[in-house]
Chains A and B, each alone.
Chain A
């Protein structure tokens, strides 16, 4: 038989375990109480019996057998809790409240005994009461027995026991109910986590566990799970996207390459033309494919690495100056007004190589998309927050606000740029570099529409401040 789910949870099992432990402890406790109380009751009866015996001995010492006999008769007839029996030397009953002693006449002058008194209670029913008794030989050789029932005291113990059992039952019922409630609470919390895990297992990486804001270990677990899924989703999404994009970006150049080679072969077979030109074109196409390939690899590696490796302190102004020097002739040849405003003496921590590559990609894009006569400005400065900003502003066509988030994604190239060389990986790589330095990428409008130029674009790579 399967237990209902709530009874199979860990907290419920723990509840059962604790209840079992409690029950065992309660049994031990009850046993101790019983033994201690019962012992006490017996001791009290013994004390009472012994005191009575001494009193009777005193009567015997003062007035002899006759006085003792008189006292026994008196005490037996009064409504006394004790029982008495006076016997002669042979053990024959002389007087008393019971007919026969439960103790045999023996050699020992003094014998303690536990026995049972049978009584008729007021309803006429027979009651058997446990009792303690003492039998002693008087100086004249007669035997005296005094006993006391301990029933009254035993009843007290029984009542205590009954109360304890009741309390135990109450504890067990409350414990079980509490266990069920706690289990249901835990189950509910776990269920939402398990639902998310199940969803993720069946391929839905978008599922998120609810964080209730209680700040307890469930929230911590849910937060961790969500964070893990977030990263997983991004990296799987990236891979999927990269796969699509590679297929898309490599298919056309490969198809072109193949067609060119095929055409060249036909021409060469027919002896019509020198296939050299076609081979040169094919080589260029192959280089393009390789370039796309290494750009994809670079982004994938960077994203797989988490934090960029080999980070050192460096002067971003100096680094930007190097990149500017590399690109200045390109801008000049295109007839662009190129300026660099580099704050000297700043410090930033990062992988020089990646930051240089990111900056070169931003600059490359700006020069590529800004029409002749426009301007490109490279700026490195420290923000008031302490973060480092490396930005490039151009007067090109800009990027519509709605498209800005998209161009940072891998491989996205906006329609108007399709005719220009480049594989559309530039800003994706910059974004990957920013992420691997715990920084970010900002896209804004440039200086605005002026003359024949577009609204322009301002791309800023923000790296967190040092320390």
Chain B
């Protein structure tokens, strides 16, 4: 089921909000402030951006200093096991609704691309002079509450 850009944008924004909340919770437990503000992006959202990435970096750096906290998190979540069967809905072969593709695949809107190939925003591993194209519409319905997987009807050559 192909998604329009608007649908993809909406999904990406929702995912970004979800991740932002998780980062806030992590920061609270680590005792640091992320100085989070409302996102000002009115254009297409790829699901991540330099501001999000900066928060992730800060959290990573803080966890390195507070190794014991990371260990506590790990112990708390270990009992979860590999999966809750009803949530295992998608083959890993399918792309996330977040079109955060890196290292090849289809090009994405990458206004945040860093020519040094640093992971910055939604980076696609493309040649510097390669023309950037809008993200590919996803073929799959990523409704994580459903146990149904949708596949495009491929015709073998």
A and B interact: no
